[in-house]
Structure 1
Amino acid sequence: MDLQMLALDLDFLSVLRNLAQHPLVQKYRNALRALSGTPHDFAEAYGALCAEVYQSGDQGQVLLRSLHCDTNALTDTIDHPSANVILAVSHDVRTLNDLLSVSGSELLDTAKSIFGQALPSISVLPTFASGSALPFTDGDGLRAYYQDKGFGFFADATFYAVDKEKIVPVVHPDPVRLTDLKGYAHQKAQILTNTRAFLAGRAANNILLYGDKGTGKSSTVKAVVNEYAKEGLKIIELSVTQISMFPVICTYAAHSPYKIIVFLDDLTFEREDENFATLKAFIEGGLTGKPDNLILYATSNRRHLIRERFSDREGDDVHRRDTLETVTSLSDRFGLEITFSVPERDEYLMIVDQLAEDCGIEMEAEQLHLLAERFALRRNGRSPRTARQFIQMQLAQEMA
């Protein structure tokens, strides 16, 4: 392979030109260009390339991740790309695969043939293996990959959060699965049915999960996302103070092929404020249209989401009616409301029994139930969270 010509081919990247700014591609290009310079130019560029390869891992996987998250003329016209776009992408893909096939040894051999004795013995210089090839070889192949795997901003992860007004992937997302959550079969079935409709592009409702603390509202939402992550379901978690990020999220979502849940956990307002009004407008009737691939799931310990005071019920009939309408105006905008109440004794003990079986705890049921009830009395009462904490305590005691 003519490595100096490969450097020229890299300059001709067009549709996939964003990859030209990737640090790995830049280091490759600098090393290739340095073959036309001095031995010192090559030594500096080659050393930087080695450092980048050692740090980043397999070059092919690095560039594939970057391509997966890219947006370009092909992704913008993914359903009906022009022949020229497909042709240009084919050139770019071939160039990138050629680049990935270059090993450190090939670069050093070429440099030795150019610079001769000006280079030290190749045997004492660092080297690296070629990278794995991309799983496609032309424009049609990359288009098929995008149609199957998706593309763009949300391609890199499943769970996202907002940090300093930026949407960022969650480094260590909660791996909880539905099989980990015991009880509440009816509630889980409602959420699953709505989520499957959303993924299928059918009509689906925003969901409000409300009820007592420790009943698994948040964990259920996260478990559902983990269940359908392979089908392209994403989640962005926001706090009440980050509700102003909705327009930004809508902009990103509108250009994404993925289905996205905006998740507001523990949603409660002290009063009707700017965030309260923004959320109402976002759900229904705002000027910024909500993309069809975006839905809202929220959890709260309060049915109406806003803290009520006795003073709200004072005054004449008109005042009381207006106040109550304000209080209910937000919760009424959720098409599906699902209640998570604390379990009765039998359901609580059923959850304990299932968790104990999953964890391999062998104890007579009567003794296990007695200890579980005592634990609940000392804690905050019966709940799935209390049951998990009790089982964790039993496991710790067995290990002691």
Structure 2
Amino acid sequence: MAKKLSKLALRLRSMTVFRDMLDDPVIGALVRCLERLGSARFVPAYSEFVSRLYRAGYVSISEYIKDRVFDSDNVYIRLMGAGTLPDKVLLDSTALDLDALSCVAGLDSSKLLEEAGCSMGLARFEGKKLNLTNEYAQRARDIEKFGYGVYARHRMFHWDRGRVVPVRTPDPIKLSELIDYQREKQLILDNTRALLKGRPAANILLTGDAGTGKSSTVKAVVNELWREGLRVLEIRKEQLHEIPGILDELNMNPLKFILFIDDLSFQKNDDNFSALKAMLEGSVSAKARNVVIYATSNRRHLVKETAADREGEDIHRQDAMQEAASLSERFGLRVTFQRPTKETYLNIVRELAKRDGLQLPDDELCAGAERFALQRSSRSARAARQYVDSLISAQPEK
């Protein structure tokens, strides 16, 4: 068996399609451990491997291997994601690698320590034999839902210095937690489902007063639909000129993406205005079948106007104002989140208080909510949430 395990290390060293996994700190440590069976260096190599497995948040090597295989960004899965069936040579090479990784997944500490002839009381790890070849083939067939690489494990991303970076702790907000605005939520949800089904989907401009739930709704839709193949990539206004490069990154990806721009507005003569306009017009360099833009703004026309802009001396003032207003009109769908009425605001407060287990007389709850809103000169869903949070914080410890 010791020779068999040493041969397994060699099989891992000979991987091609999944070769980048040799750079993984846990798998690399395991390979070195297998290569040192029967030597005095085995125990420290074994302990280093198990320590790295633990630090990665696992006690099972099979679960770790499975997750790394599914996350792998390799030539086989990229071809499948692009709708191209790999040729037989590549298929056979992929199967060889997966068979070797399946054998590694079947290791556990008892087997490894027994074959090493080690009787010391060392840390343990678990493992079980997997059929990664079949599981990976199934995942490849459903690549439009699962994705690959960094997109397989994460749902929310941002654009940073020319690359896609995952959001490690995404906002977990759910649609069911957003009270009221049923029509607005349904419009956005229906449009996003059309995108997932490969049907024509509109770019959406979400406008309305601050705190009415525009950004939260977009994030909640992603949380609702990400297991169906939806991802969101947030970009800042000053990154809009990078949209062509972003679309080059996403265009061949089998997943569907929302490019999310939060709190969008422009100054007059802003260069980013033209970049977004080109994308919304569907220019050749900016068109993508699997990407839509969702932008939020507190301004209906997006471009900040001054009194001078409206009354100025420019003989083409009317044309300039129409150009400023035209950007919002290029969004296929505009959804307005109105500031809630007093009745709606208090209903939101009641629902939030109920969900959080607060037990206050209704008149006391509502009177406090009104005072809270007056202090902020605004009734909004955000104010309701902040008010209920303040009540929770003020409760005595039990």
- TM-score normalised by L of structure 1: 0.88
Query: Partner residue of 2:54?
Result: 54
- 1:124 is the counterpart of 2:120: yes
How far is 1:335 from its partner? 0.8
Secondary structure of 1:31's aligned partner? helix
Secondary structure of 1:289's aligned partner? coil
Aligned Cα root-mean-square deviation (Å): 2.4
Residue identity opposite 1:124 in structure 2: M
The CA deviation string for residues 15-48 of structure 1, in whole angstroms up to 9 with x for no partner, is 222223222222222233334xx83554554343
Distance, in Å, in 2 between the alignment partners of 1:259 and 1:18 is: 26
C-alpha contact 2:150 2:166 (8 A) present in aligned 1: no
Residue identity opposite 2:120 in structure 1: V
How far is 1:11 from its partner? 2.9
Distance, in Å, in 2 between the alignment partners of 1:284 and 1:165 is: 23
How far is 1:108 from its partner? 4.0
Residue identity opposite 2:206 in structure 1: L
C-alpha contact 1:74 1:143 (8 A) present in aligned 2: no
Q: Which moved more, 1:200-209 or 1:285-294?
A: 285-294
- 1:142 is the counterpart of 2:136: yes
* Alignment equivalent of 2:176, drawn from 156, 161, 179: 179
Distance, in Å, in 2 between the alignment partners of 1:268 and 1:29 is: 53
Secondary structure of 1:218's aligned partner? helix
Q: Which moved more, 1:10-19 or 1:226-235?
A: 10-19
Secondary structure of 1:374's aligned partner? helix
Distance, in Å, in 1 between the alignment partners of 2:198 and 2:381 is: 33
Residue identity opposite 1:321 in structure 2: Q
Residue identity opposite 1:145 in structure 2: R
- TM-score normalised by L of structure 2: 0.88
- 1:19 is the counterpart of 2:21: yes
The CA deviation string for residues 242-293 of structure 1, in whole angstroms up to 9 with x for no partner, is 3244234323312322111111111111223222222222232444233211
The CA deviation string for residues 282-308 of structure 1, in whole angstroms up to 9 with x for no partner, is 232444233211111110111111111
Residue identity opposite 2:124 in structure 1: F
Q: Which moved more, 1:260-269 or 1:287-296?
A: 287-296
Distance, in Å, in 2 between the alignment partners of 1:187 and 1:365 is: 28
Residue identity opposite 1:141 in structure 2: E
Secondary structure of 1:262's aligned partner? strand
Distance, in Å, in 1 between the alignment partners of 2:323 and 2:380 is: 32
Query: Partner residue of 2:218?
Result: 221
- 1:166 is the counterpart of 2:145: no
The CA deviation string for residues 31-82 of structure 1, in whole angstroms up to 9 with x for no partner, is 33334xx835545543432332332323222222222222323223325333
Distance, in Å, in 2 between the alignment partners of 1:87 and 1:348 is: 62
Query: Partner residue of 1:191?
Result: 188
* Alignment equivalent of 1:91, drawn from 93, 96, 100: 96
Secondary structure of 2:335's aligned partner? strand
C-alpha contact 2:278 2:286 (8 A) present in aligned 1: no
Query: Partner residue of 1:289?
Result: 286
What pairs up with 1:1-400 in 2 under 5 angstroms?
A: 1=1, 2-35=4-37, 39-42=39-42, 45-56=45-56, 57=58, 58-78=60-80, 79=83, 80-112=85-117, 122-124=118-120, 126-134=122-130, 136-138=131-133, 140-148=134-142, 149-315=146-312, 318-399=315-396
User: Residue 398 and residue 72 in structure 1: after superposition, are their counterparts in 2 closer, same or farther (change >3 A)?
Assistant: closer
Residue identity opposite 1:144 in structure 2: Q
Secondary structure of 2:339's aligned partner? coil
C-alpha contact 1:375 1:390 (8 A) present in aligned 2: yes
Alignment length (residue pairs): 387
How far is 1:240 from its partner? 1.3
Secondary structure of 1:288's aligned partner? coil
Residue identity opposite 2:97 in structure 1: D
Q: Which moved more, 1:383-392 or 1:241-250?
A: 241-250
How far is 1:205 from its partner? 0.5
Which stretches in structure 1 are left out of the alignment for 5+ residues? Answer: 113-121
Residue identity opposite 1:395 in structure 2: I
How far is 1:313 from its partner? 2.2
The CA deviation string for residues 208-245 of structure 1, in whole angstroms up to 9 with x for no partner, is 10111111111111111111122121111222123244
Distance, in Å, in 1 between the alignment partners of 2:186 and 2:293 is: 17
Q: Which moved more, 1:305-314 or 1:20-29?
A: 20-29
Distance, in Å, in 1 between the alignment partners of 2:111 and 2:355 is: 54
Distance, in Å, in 2 between the alignment partners of 1:319 and 1:175 is: 48
Q: Which moved more, 1:388-397 or 1:186-195?
A: 388-397
Secondary structure of 1:26's aligned partner? helix
Residue identity opposite 1:365 in structure 2: D
Distance, in Å, in 1 between the alignment partners of 2:384 and 2:356 is: 12
User: Residue 33 and residue 240 in structure 1: after superposition, are their counterparts in 2 closer, same or farther (change >3 A)?
Assistant: same
Which stretches in structure 2 are left out of the alignment for 5+ residues? Answer: none
